Amino acid sequence: MEGIYGIWLRDITKFFRDKARLFGSFTMPILFLLIFGGGLSGTMESMMGQMTGADGDFNYVEFVFPGIVAMTLLMTSIFSSLSIIEDKDFGYMKEILVSPVSRVSIAIGKMLGAATVACIQGIILFMLIPFLGLTYDFVSLLLVLPFMFLFACALSGLGLLIASVIRSTQGFQMIVQILVMPMIFLSGALFPINNMPAWMHTIVMLNPVTYGVDVMKKIMIDVDSLSPEVVEAMGLNLEIFGRLITIPEQILFIAVFAVVLVLLATVSFRRTNA
């Protein structure tokens, strides 16, 4: 436990010490909110209004905000896992690997560190809610936090696994380009996943981010107050094999995903002869 705490504490300390990274972490999500929230909302809302016929009921900013929080979680979790490559490059990984800290503790410590950093960024975004004219229920924001942490753990686990097989920072950037971007765009984070070609829909359903985004939206958006047409238009009736998926099922799926990835990352540490 002490080992997990030490590894976690180190990454958190370094996150707050790195001024450039701290500042950069504020700017990117805000930029996305401006572009997607401000720039796209008019177009999206008029398109949705035509589709559903229920004009004015569809608030795109309300729809996209949880998506952008999820996207921030994804980016930050994966990028924070990059620290493991730095640790190898700068030799610190050796100090950890020759210590009595178990390999699974190293993986868990790293995962929790990246997930914590990601959640801090998510919470920073919450502070923008009043300025965006959004009215999420305060209780729903509190409820979504534990899920955000679980989701971030799963994504950090994925980052760790990538980091453990990639040797260089450049290689990592490439993986991010070919993996992270599609994971965001094909998840329903930024636009509803309706009327897609079948092959694309299959990818969406295989993408774990889809379920994370869906749960966050269902918790944060007051779905019951919306007309059924709007809920459908938002793509919130996620089905698999023609059956509606429930929130507990999705949470279970994310949790299993997180555990499996941490175990895989542990195995890769065991192989490492740093």
Partner 1 sequence: MNPIISVRGLRKNYKKTEAVKGIDFDVEEGEIFGFLGPNGAGKSTTINMICTMINPTSGSITINGYDVASQKARVRESIGIIFQENTLDEKLTAYENLMLHCRFYRVPKSERQRRIEEVLEIVDLQAEIKQRVDTFSGGMKRRLEIARGLLHYPKVLFLDEPTVGLDPQTRAHLWEYILRLKEEQGITMFLTTHYLDEAEISSRVAIMDAGSIIALDTPDALKRQLGGDMIELATEDNALAQQEITKQSTPESMTEHEGTLFIRTDDSNRFISQLLPTLTPAVTSLNIRRPTLNDVFLSFTGRSISATKGDG
Alpha carbons 201 and 178: distance in angstroms, whole number? 18
Residue 274 binds partner 1 (CB under 8 A): yes
Element (H, E) at 129: none
Q: How far is the CB of 3 from partner 1 (least distance, A)?
A: 6
**Does 3 participate in binding partner 1 (rule CB under 8 A)?**
yes
DSSP, res 177: I
Please report, as residue ranges, which positions from 68 to 127 form the binding site for partner 1 (by CB under 8 A).
90-92, 94-102
Is position 200 an interface residue for partner 1 (rule: CB under 8 A)? no
The two three-digit tokens of residue 191, written as one number: 């636009």
Q: Which is nearer to partner 1, 7 or 233 (CB)?
A: 7
DSSP, collapsed to helix, strand or coil, labels residue 242 as coil
Q: How far is the CB of 269 from partner 1 (least distance, A)?
A: 12
21 is a site residue for partner 1 (CB under 8 A)? no
Beta strands in the chain (DSSP E): 239-240, 243-244
Between residues 135 and 270, which has the closer beta carbon with respect to partner 1? 270
For the chain, the helix, strand and coil percentages under 3-state DSSP, each to the nearest 5: 80, 0, 20
Residue 14 binds partner 1, judged by CB under 8 A: yes
Contacts of 187 (CB under 8 A, 6+ apart): 67, 70, 193, 204, 207, 209, 210, 212, 213
For partner 1, the closer CB: 86 or 137: 86
- With H, G, I as helix, E, B as strand and everything else as coil, classify residue 191: coil
Residue 2 in contact with partner 1, rule: CB under 8 A: yes
Kindly tell me which of 94 and 167 has the beta carbon lying closer to partner 1.
94
| Interface positions, 33-52, toward partner 1 (CB under 8 A) | none
What does the binding site for partner 1 look like in residue numbers (CB under 8 A)?
A: 2-3, 5-6, 9-10, 13-14, 17-18, 90-92, 94-102, 273-274
